[in-house]
Amino acid sequence: MLGYIAATSNVEVVLRSDVIPLEEIKQINPDLIILDHWIGTSKGGDLCLEIKQTPAMAGIPVVMLSALNEIGQIAQDSCADGSLAKPFDITEIGDIIETYIG
């Protein structure tokens, strides 16, 4: 669903259902990462913190999303740039894309 929404916003999308290694993220060099807190058996908050603690990637905006009520606090603890609670309105994704990458 996120891929479809982003594609209609005319942005290139890389979808993954597992944790992407930091080296691969560096190679992709994304303008924005929208990261679910639950990624298979891993937690997106852990990946977000790794991204934000890596100087070459710390400036990449990361917005975390989850159905967990605590996603705002999880995002803050993970140094994310923002959070979005599920279920979300489709326009909210468009607004996030517009805010961070125009």
Q: Quote the percentage of the chain above a pLDDT of 90.
A: 51
In order, the DSSP letters of the chain are -HHHHHHHTT------SSPPPHHHHHHH--S-EEEESEETTEEHHHHHHHHHTSTTTTTS-EEEEESSTTHHHHHHHTT-SEEEESS--HHHHHHHHHHHH-
Rounded mean pLDDT, 69-82: 95
User: Domain span at residue 76?
Assistant: 2-101
Number of structural domains found in the chain = 1
pTM (2 decimals)? 0.88
Instruction: Indicate which CATH number applies to the domain containing 48.
Output: 3.40.50.2300
